Amino acid sequence: MGVSKCLRGVSRCLKMSHVAAPRGPSRVIEWDVLSTRYPRMAPLPWSMLTERTGIDLFCGLGGFSFAMQLAGVRPVLGVDSWPDASEAYSRNFPGAKAVCADLFDAEFQEKLAADYEGKVDIVCGGPPCQPFSVLNRTNRVGSEGPLVFFRVALAIRPSLILMEEVSDVARHAGLMDGIRQMAEERGYSVDWAVLNAADHGVAQARRRLFVAAYPYGFSAPALFDMPKAVDRVPLSRVLPPPDESQEVTTYAAEMIRDRRSYSWHNGYNELDESGQAPALTTQFNQPGCWPSRRLGARYYHVSDADAAAIQSLPRDVKLPEKRMARRRALGNAVPPKMAAAVLRYLLKRELIGR
């Protein structure tokens, strides 16, 4: 390791000792996320110099925070304006601060930057994606989410910024240019790629845009070159047994059996458990909107536990109390296993389970 890199690590250690972020019990990772096999990559030990900390903006129930834990980063703060998600986040991450606030609010943005500037290593986030979703062809209200995310993240000045969005955002050249320009003005370089969760150990074909930014002078591998996991994980390996109390109606079962699909988005269809699920949506337990599970001759709604497994969330993930809120939080989440693979790759950590 070069002397300058070593000194940088030491100075980072010293700087981190002033972090005012709350400390909490370290969590035991209970689910089988570290078993993904990647092609061999050179281990780079500099990541062991200091404990890293991170912030999760637009955190929902905390998909990115689970990913940070898997990548050896301690989440210290999760912000979301939706009370149900914020409450679930606080139960999932008792050692982090859960703040329920509007990230579009300029005053709150300033306060956040004042409190955390220079004090955390990583800022992650998945700004609202509905304005860009392929399911939404008309309403583009709120499409400034990615810009707001970058404005706040850049003001905090971390060593790595990572945003997740629906893949369509990559086609909005104006928006992507806006992000690049804003980042470059603050001394950050930007890189992005559309990745598929199925290539990173998740039993779901979910294509998502990842945009990374780091201060000039930091080198990180290109997202585009990120290696894929050696194997794909079939649904049968992650799904719990079907919840038999959730049998679908006779009518829906007939529709599925007859393959009378009225919906272009996988509705009245059956999950093929030997492969990967299609991208989970917030409507996952409606046979007309998303596939159902088959057991023998019967069909079952996809349960919350199924959806959590499809998203590679831990088995003991804490969900919002209300039924509709649970579905929305599950459908919105970034798959932690995928985001952890991206973080580990960008942080150049040795990949586990080769």
Ligand X SMILES: C[S@@+](CC[C@H](N)C(=O)[O-])C[C@H]1O[C@@H](n2cnc3c(N)ncnc32)[C@H](O)[C@@H]1O
Within 127-156, the residues that bind ligand X by CB under 6 A are 128-129
Cβ nearer to ligand X, comparing 226 with 339? 339
Among 55, 69, 80, 342, binds ligand X (CB under 6 A): 80
Smallest separation (angstroms) from ligand X to the CB of 220: 21
Check binding of 104 to ligand X (CB under 6 A): yes
Using CA atoms, how far apart are residues 64 and 35, in angstroms rounded to an integer?
Answer: 19
Q: At 110, list the tokens.
A: 């300033």
Smallest separation (angstroms) from ligand X to the CB of 199: 19
Using CA atoms, how far apart are residues 144 and 160, in angstroms rounded to an integer?
Answer: 21
* Closest to 125 in 3D by CA, of 202, 196, 221, 55: 55
CA atoms 284, 290, 293, 297: torsion sign: positive
6 is catalytic: no
* Closest to 269 in 3D by CA, of 283, 259, 280, 279: 259
Cβ nearer to ligand X, comparing 62 with 314? 62
**What region, left, alpha or beta, does residue 249 occupy, with left being phi > 0 and alpha being psi -120 to 50 degrees?**
beta
Smallest separation (angstroms) from ligand X to the CB of 318: 12
Selecting among 6, 13, 59, 129, the annotated active-site residue is: 129
Check binding of 85 to ligand X (CB under 6 A): yes
Q: Which stretch binds ligand X (CB under 6 A): 33-41, 97-105, 180-188, 267-275?
A: 97-105
Check binding of 332 to ligand X (CB under 6 A): yes
The pattern of x and - marking residues 33 through 62 that bind ligand X according to CB under 6 A reads -------------------------xxxxx
Check binding of 334 to ligand X (CB under 6 A): yes
Amino acid at 243: D
Is there a contact between 172 and 194 (Cβ–Cβ < 8 Å)?
no
Amino acid at 38: Y
User: Contact residues for ligand X (CB under 6 A)?
Assistant: 58-64, 80-82, 85, 102-104, 126, 128-129, 332-334
